[in-house]
Amino acid sequence: MYVPAHFNEPNRDVLYDMIENNVLGVLITHGASGLDANHIPSSQNARWSASTCQWR
């Protein structure tokens, strides 16, 4: 996915802090019926595990 330089955040700790402090995200997709937005809660203890490719 293309991420413009001014939106890029390479520091994972900053990203984890953002997730922990904003526990509701929105996933926006575009399909045959148009745009769809789904609210996705996250755990305040969530951490991405690169070895298992999942949140833990």
Is residue 52 in some structural domain? Answer: no
Query: Is residue 55 situated within a structural domain?
Result: no
54 found inside a domain: no
Instruction: Give the pLDDT of residue 21.
Output: 83
How many structural domains compose the chain?
1
Which residues constitute the domain of residue 16?
5-46
Per-residue pLDDT reduced to its tens digit, 18-55? 877 887 888 899 999 999 999 988 765 656 665 556 65
Average pLDDT over residues 1-26: 87
Look at strands 48-49 and 54-55 and give their pairing.
antiparallel
Rounded Cα distance between 45 and 56, Å, is 8
According to the model, what pLDDT value does residue 46 have?
A: 55
Cα angle value 52/30/6 (rounded, 5°): 70
Does some domain include residue 15? yes
pLDDT of residue 18: 84
